[in-house]
């Protein structure tokens, strides 16, 4: 506890009161929290849409909705979850909240731009939500907007695409801000290799956001132009090539997967040393593997298109590169586990989430190998197997890392402690629900159930029923976790400044942090995970 | 946090810019003239080659890359390489269909 | 699920694919179980109650190199098996029987040598077949899971897929590229039959000659994807007994009572959004003006007049 | 997005501001990069049609616009030298001259597009839709690429006008001129893209 009274960033800062005080604030921590509340709401909407789909799939034939509604729902579920939850998720929320503190800075490099990014994000999000209720019904293309279906369908694709374009713009600006911040704002003495690994991950992520997003931006613009002016970029009737759309789309959307997972890996890399009370094993290997993943990650988009009719040459080149990109991820897993060796392990909630992350991420990653392999991908491509795979990566990976980060930094964010017992139970329910929901999808995919199916043959019923039940278990876990945290944020007991014994800079300042982060700018001389 | 207020500023003379402009204009006219030479297969390569030279000159002098921080040079090269790899990989598909 | 225990695979592609799967799964299981076990062991062994003071271990360059090199070798092995099992799929034999495959929302059509049309894929066993596939509207994907083959069917170009069916029986053909409203209903069946049976089938009088000309045109334009002939409600109204039927239609949202006549049918084909039959949605059908020649539209209408209630 | 780099608090960081601007330029380059990729693919598929399409374009006007943009690039670069030497008046004049040259570019473009529309050569026109597929794509790309570029010219003009006002009230001055440099960088980007657009669209053989 600090002895001198201070004003935390959560308290009113004068000038304006109430909501306006927040909406005009350029403080990185407040912007981070604003992202979190917004993303939290979108996440719940996405989850509810997912549950509706699960109910529909509970038995073959029409259960609660018609096929058009179902197609709209899985599109909206995808658009919300991908563009509004997982892509901004960790970097915009925890990157904003803690990256500047971890590198000993007062704020990001361009605080006003940071606030602008949030407004652009909200504008895009509102457009995305509006696209559901206006025009000719919700878009029904799937979040991938594949041409020429997306240029032909009469539904409200235009607005959804515009929304994705605007959201991409916000993502670019956040990335730009983070790169400049990390280059220019590190505390004196904090060399690149004395920087904690979460900022390292964010740095790699920011480059992807910056350099990949424009490609999807221009692709979506072309799609808009095609729909409005009949230019025919992707419509074969006008000379266009639908496969080119897929190339352009995946040049962005594959790296986007790393926008989700790299910060997640960064979070896990922060949590493991803290709860093992040990320096991270292989600091440099982890830092550089982030850069490697970001770099090679640009060159593997074609593995989403093995069956698209690409040339054989392109297929095997992409397969080869895909297998290469698996290696740096493996290195990270080995280093995490090695960090636990001879540590002094405290099984607290954040660490439990981190363990779940490693396990689920391994399943997601290893099943990814069979999708990267040419022969096996032909079999399971676009089946429920892919659905299971990417939910293991995105939800089991990014989602669980988000929950881990939430429980890890919660005491710092709010200065309050949550009920750890309830948090642990919620974790257990989440973990079981998750596996029950998605594991059957692997089996269904191997049985030959294509994805995005409204109806299915009777042989798939067992798996779908299990999956639906799992969905509800998972939902209970989410509600329990969130309720626990909301109660804690309101009435939880005071949290100490450093509840877990962390070594990075955010644990050296009061909880919740003051507006200026540090009383005196810190000077760094030691390595980030120095437990000597 | 380093303040680069007092950073050494390279000031380019006016005549340098004038000279650069003359070179760029000359290259432009060469490109336009090339079209009439019927070089068939080579003309695209030459036109793009000249465009790249022009772009490099603009980057180096007008955009001050030549006198600026090393970081910017590295980043520009990296971005160009990234774009080239996009092109190459896409054409791994289109050229071998 | 798998045919690992069954020595007879359904196609010549299945063995390679399943072998590649087995190798990847084998390595994956080893690592998943191994790493998880080690992790759990560390958590128990080095729990802070048993191990109150952590030992600070410096990095080991040798170890980093080891666990970089070994996975690299392993993934290269996986790549290799994926590659050798896949490359035959792209190596199309010259003597294979060609079946022209047309995908459209939401049905498949197969055209055999001699212009025989079929909605099912009938195949002689143990003989190579190549599907020359194209789509009339959006991207579809032809998937026969038992054969372990899949390839997208893209409008504007022709894609190829080949295989040798090696086991008699019926196998599901599904569409695996999302293609709109009735994506999950876009199915057909591959029937693998003995050669003799195939010959008999192929020689049987092509259905096409028995068909009404209007029906042929309608088939070519995939009308049946949305309109049934047996009264079933699909995306659009059924054609059964459509002529002379009294319907309530919405013109710009205002209901109107009409009786279906040939003028109405014509309007419904060239301007489908003008009058929407109550209970159906706008914007799902595009105009066929200019797509189907004027005289063909008349032929269709004549055919529709013959479809009476049974 | 020039105000991206505006930051006049106690931690003035010119290098950081410039880095921010360069990063933004990278995103713009890749935005057009995506278009160049599309162009390259369709040129590969429809080489003949692209050639015929290019013959419909006015090389003289295109060349003229290239010259105009190159000169404007020089004037904006010179304006930075001027302010660095403390010559505020000359710097302002050069910025204004750049804006005027941008106007010349737009007027030129207006006549070029106008002529195309007169001949019904615009995307979605009945005439174009009857063309061969490659030509439909060519005219689509021509209008989309030059249109997007024109949009950037307009943004650049706004940026330059902001620079002019900032020079006037000495927010930009002899010692603090990174803002003008960034504005200049943006304008050079506009030029840079045109350097590639011109041979690709007008000089296809």
Subunits with 3+ Cβ pairs within 8 Å of D are: A, B
pLDDT at D2 exceeding the cut of 50: no
More confident residue, A291 or C213: A291
> Of A91-95, A101-105, A147-151, which range is least confident?
A147-151
pLDDT at D11: 59
Residue where the block lists tokens 């689509």: D140
pLDDT at A328 exceeding the cut of 70: yes
pLDDT at A5: 65
Mean predicted confidence (pLDDT) in A182-199: 92
pLDDT at A350 exceeding the cut of 80: yes
pLDDT at C99 exceeding the cut of 90: yes
pLDDT digits (tens, 9 = 90+) for C263-277: 888 888 888 878 888
B56: which chain D residues are within 8 Å (Cβ-Cβ)?
A: none
Query: Across the interface, do B1 and A302 touch by the CB < 8 Å criterion?
Result: no
Name the pLDDT band for C206 (thresholds 50, 70, 90). low
Q: Which residue of A has its CA nearest to D35?
A: A218
pLDDT at A527: 85
Mean predicted confidence (pLDDT) in D61-65: 90
More confident residue, C68 or C309: C68
Which 3 state secondary structure label does DSSP give A529? coil
Q: How far is CA C141 from CA C20, C134, C154, C179, D15, in A?
A: 22, 10, 8, 9, 52
pLDDT at C73: 94
β-strand pairing of C246-251 with C275-277: antiparallel
Give dist(CA C136, CA A293) in Å, integer: 40
Mean predicted confidence (pLDDT) in A81-93: 92
Name the pLDDT band for D8 (thresholds 50, 70, 90). very low
Mean predicted confidence (pLDDT) in C290-305: 81
Mean predicted confidence (pLDDT) in C205-209: 57
pLDDT at B2: 40
β-strand pairing of C121-124 with C187-193: parallel
More confident residue, B69 or C150: C150
Name the pLDDT band for D6 (thresholds 50, 70, 90). very low
Query: Across the interface, do B35 and D63 touch by the CB < 8 Å criterion?
Result: no
Name the pLDDT band for C211 (thresholds 50, 70, 90). low
Tell me which of C23, C56, C160, C232 to substitute to probe the interface with A (most A C-beta atoms closer than 10 Å): C56
The closest of A314, A191, A200, A189 to A250, measured between CA atoms, is A314
Mean predicted confidence (pLDDT) in C234-249: 80
Mean predicted confidence (pLDDT) in C87-103: 91
Give dist(CA D96, CA D76) in Å, integer: 9
Is residue A291 within 8 Å of A283, Cβ to Cβ? no
pLDDT in tens, chain B (97 residues): 344 444 556 788 888 889 999 999 999 888 888 777 766 667 778 888 888 999 999 998 888 888 888 889 999 999 999 999 999 999 998 888 8
Average pLDDT, chain D: 86
pLDDT at A440: 94
State the CATH class of domain D15-202: mainly alpha
Q: How far is CA A250 from CA A120, A185, A202, A297, B86, in A?
A: 23, 33, 21, 11, 11
pLDDT at C25 exceeding the cut of 90: yes
Give me the CATH code for the A26-508 domain, please. Answer: 1.20.210.10
Q: A residues 99-138 near B, CB within 8 Å?
A: 105
Name the pLDDT band for D115 (thresholds 50, 70, 90). confident
Mean predicted confidence (pLDDT) in A188-208: 93
pLDDT at A142 exceeding the cut of 90: no
pTM equals 0.89
pLDDT at C260 exceeding the cut of 90: no
Give dist(CA D90, CA A245) in Å, integer: 49
Residue C131, beta-bridge partner list: C99, C161
Q: A residues 390-429 near C, CB within 8 Å?
A: none
pLDDT at D9 exceeding the cut of 60: no
pLDDT at B39: 64
Average pLDDT, chain A: 91
More confident residue, A530 or C34: C34
pLDDT at C296: 83
Model ipTM value: 0.87
pLDDT at A12: 80
Q: Which residue of B has its CA nearest to A306?
A: B93
Tell me which of D3, D12, D30 to substitute to probe the interface with A (most A C-beta atoms closer than 10 Å): D30
More confident residue, B40 or C196: C196
Give dist(CA A119, CA C31) in Å, integer: 44
pLDDT at A3 exceeding the cut of 90: no
pLDDT at A421: 94
C-alpha of A528 from chain center: 25
Q: Which residue among A185, A302, A521 places its CB closest to the CB of B89?
A: A302
Query: Across the interface, do B95 and A311 touch by the CB < 8 Å criterion?
Result: yes
| Contact status of A439 with chain C (Cβ, < 8 Å) | no
pLDDT at D13: 84
Structure tokens at A287: 């830092």
> Nearest-CA distance from A78 to chain C in Å?
14
Name the pLDDT band for C288 (thresholds 50, 70, 90). confident
pLDDT at C4 exceeding the cut of 70: no
Question: Would you list the domain boundaries of chain D?
Answer: 15-202
pLDDT at C254: 80
C-alpha of C265 from chain center: 31
Give dist(CA C152, CA D23) in Å, integer: 38
Name the pLDDT band for A395 (thresholds 50, 70, 90). very high
pLDDT at D3 exceeding the cut of 70: no
> Of A78-92, A459-473, D4-18, which range is least confident?
D4-18
Query: Across the interface, do A521 and B1 touch by the CB < 8 Å criterion?
Result: yes
pLDDT at C38 exceeding the cut of 90: yes
CA atoms within a 13 Å half-sphere pointing along the CA-CB vector of A425: 9
Cis amide prior to A148 (ω within 30 degrees):
yes
């Amino acid at each position: 506890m600090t002895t001198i009274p201070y004003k935390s960033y959560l308290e009113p800062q004068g000038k304006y009161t109430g909501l306006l005080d927040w909406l005009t604030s350029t403080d990185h921590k407040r912007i981070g929290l604003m992202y979190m509340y917004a993303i939290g709401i979108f996440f719940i909407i996405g989850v509810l849409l997912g549950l509706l789909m699960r109910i529909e799939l509970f038995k073959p034939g029409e259960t609660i909705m018609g096929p058009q509604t179902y197609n709209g729902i899985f599109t909206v579920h995808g658009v919300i979850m991908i563009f509004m939850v997982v892509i901004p998720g960790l970097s915009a929320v925890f990157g904003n909240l803690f990256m500047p503190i971890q590198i000993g800075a007062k704020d990001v490099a361009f605080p006003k731009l940071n606030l602008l990014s949030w407004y652009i994000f909200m504008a895009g999000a509102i457009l995305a939500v509006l696209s559901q209720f206006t025009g000719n019904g919700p878009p029904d293309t799937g979040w991938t907007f594949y041409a020429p279906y997306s240029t032909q369908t009469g539904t409200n694709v235009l607005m959804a695409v515009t929304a994705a374009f605007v959201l991409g713009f916000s993502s670019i600006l956040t990335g730009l801000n983070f790169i400049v911040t990390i280059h220019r704002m590190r505390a004196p003495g904090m060399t690149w290799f004395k920087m904690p690994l979460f900022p390292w991950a964010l740095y790699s992520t920011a480059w992807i956001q910056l350099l990949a997003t424009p490609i999807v931006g221009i692709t979506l613009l072309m799609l808009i132009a095609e729909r409005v002016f009949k230019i025919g970029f992707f419509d074969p009737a006008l000379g266009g090539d639908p496969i080119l759309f897929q190339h352009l789309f995946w040049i962005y959307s594959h790296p986007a997967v790393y926008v989700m997972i790299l910060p997640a890996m960064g979070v896990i890399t922060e949590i493991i040393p803290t709860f093992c009370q040990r320096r991270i094993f292989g600091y440099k290997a982890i830092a550089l593997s982030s850069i490697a993943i970001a770099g090679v990650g640009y060159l593997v988009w074609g593995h989403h298109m093995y069956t698209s009719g690409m040339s054989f040459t392109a297929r095997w080149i992409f397969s080869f590169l895909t297998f290469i990109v698996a290696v740096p991820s493996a290195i990270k897993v080995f280093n995490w586990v090695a960090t636990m060796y001879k540590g002094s392990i405290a099984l607290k909630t954040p660490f439990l989430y981190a363990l779940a992350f490693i396990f689920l991420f391994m399943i997601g990653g290893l099943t990814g190998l069979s999708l990267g392999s040419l022969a096996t991908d032909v079999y399971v491509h676009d089946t429920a197997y892919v659905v299971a795979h990417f939910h293991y990566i995105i939800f089991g990976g990014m989602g669980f890392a988000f929950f881990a980060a939430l429980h890890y930094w919660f005491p710092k964010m709010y200065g309050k402690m949550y009920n750890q017992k309830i948090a642990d139970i919620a974790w257990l329910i989440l973990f079981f629900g998750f596996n029950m929901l998605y594991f059957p999808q692997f089996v269904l995919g191997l049985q030959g159930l294509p994805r995005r199916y409204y109806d299915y043959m009777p042989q798939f019923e067992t798996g779908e029923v299990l999956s639906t039940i799992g969905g509800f278990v998972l939902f209970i876990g989410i509600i329990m976790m969130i309720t626990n945290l909301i109660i804690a944020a309101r009435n939880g007991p005071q949290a100490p400044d450093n509840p877990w014994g962390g070594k990075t800079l955010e644990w050296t300042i009061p909880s919740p942090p003051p507006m200026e982060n540090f009383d005196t700018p810190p000077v760094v001389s030691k390595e980030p995970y120095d437990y000597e | 946090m380093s303040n680069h207020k007092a950073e050494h500023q390279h000031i380019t003379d006016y005549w340098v810019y004038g000279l650069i402009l003359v070179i760029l204009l000359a290259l432009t006219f060469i490109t336009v003239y090339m079209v009439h030479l019927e070089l068939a297969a080579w003309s695209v390569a030459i036109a793009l080659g000249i465009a790249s030279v022009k772009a490099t000159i603009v980057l180096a002098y007008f955009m001050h890359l030549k006198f600026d921080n090393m970081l910017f040079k590295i980043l520009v090269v990296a971005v160009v390489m990234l774009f080239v790899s996009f092109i190459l990989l896409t054409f791994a598909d289109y050229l071998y269909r | 699920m798998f045919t690992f225990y069954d020595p007879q695979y359904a196609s010549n592609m299945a063995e390679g694919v399943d072998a590649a799967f087995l190798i990847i799964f084998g390595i994956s299981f080893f690592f998943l179980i191994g790493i998880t076990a080690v992790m759990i062991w560390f958590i128990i062994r080095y729990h802070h109650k048993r191990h109150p003071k952590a030992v600070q271990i410096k990095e080991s360059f040798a170890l980093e190199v080891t666990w970089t090199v070994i996975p690299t070798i392993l993934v290269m092995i996986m790549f290799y098996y994926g590659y050798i099992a896949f490359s035959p799929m792209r190596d199309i034999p010259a003597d294979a029987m060609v079946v022209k495959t047309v995908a459209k929302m939401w049905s498949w059509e197969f055209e055999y040598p001699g212009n025989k049309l079929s909605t099912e894929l009938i195949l002689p066993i143990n003989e190579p077949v190549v599907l020359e596939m194209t789509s009339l509207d959006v991207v579809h994907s032809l998937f026969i899971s038992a054969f372990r083959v899949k390839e997208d069917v893209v409008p504007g170009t022709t894609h190829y897929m080949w295989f040798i069916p090696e086991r008699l029986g019926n196998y599901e053909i599904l569409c695996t590229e999302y293609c709109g409203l009735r994506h999950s209903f876009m199915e057909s069946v591959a029937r693998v039959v003995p050669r003799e049976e195939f010959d008999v089938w192929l020689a049987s009088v092509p259905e096409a000659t028995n068909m009404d000309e209007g029906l042929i045109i309608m088939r070519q334009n995939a009308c049946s994807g949305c309109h049934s002939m047996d009264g079933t409600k699909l995306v659009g109204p059924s054609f059964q007994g459509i002529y002379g039927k009294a319907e309530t239609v919405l013109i710009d949202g205002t209901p109107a009572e009409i009786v279906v006549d040939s003028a109405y049918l014509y309007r419904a084909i060239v301007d489908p959004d003008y009058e929407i039959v109550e209970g159906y949605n706008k914007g799902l059908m595009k105009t066929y003006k200019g797509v189907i020649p004027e005289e063909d539209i008349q032929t269709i209408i004549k055919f529709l007049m013959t479809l009476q209630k049974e | 997005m020039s105000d991206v780099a505006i930051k006049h608090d106690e931690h003035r960081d010119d290098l950081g501001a410039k880095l921010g601007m360069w990063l933004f330029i990278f995103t713009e380059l890749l935005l057009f990069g995506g278009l160049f990729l599309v162009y390259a693919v369709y040129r590969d598929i429809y080489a003949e049609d692209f050639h015929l399409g290019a013959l419909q374009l006015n090389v003289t006007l295109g060349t003229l616009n290239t010259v105009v943009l190159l000169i404007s690039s020089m004037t904006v670069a010179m304006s930075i030298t001027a302010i660095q030497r403390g010559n505020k008046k000359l710097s302002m004049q050069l910025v204004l001259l750049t804006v005027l040259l941008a106007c010349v570019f737009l007027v030129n473009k207006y006549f070029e597009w106008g002529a195309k529309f007169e001949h019904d050569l615009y995307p979605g026109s009945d005439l174009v839709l009857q063309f061969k597929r490659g030509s439909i794509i060519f005219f689509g790309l021509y209008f989309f690429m030059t249109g997007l570029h024109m949009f950037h010219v307009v943004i650049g003009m706004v940026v330059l006008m902001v620079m002019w006002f900032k020079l006037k009230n000495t927010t930009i001055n002899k010692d603090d001129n990174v803002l003008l440099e960034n504005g200049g960088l943006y304008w050079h980007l506009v030029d840079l893209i045109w350097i590639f657009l011109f041979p690709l669209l007008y000089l296809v053989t």
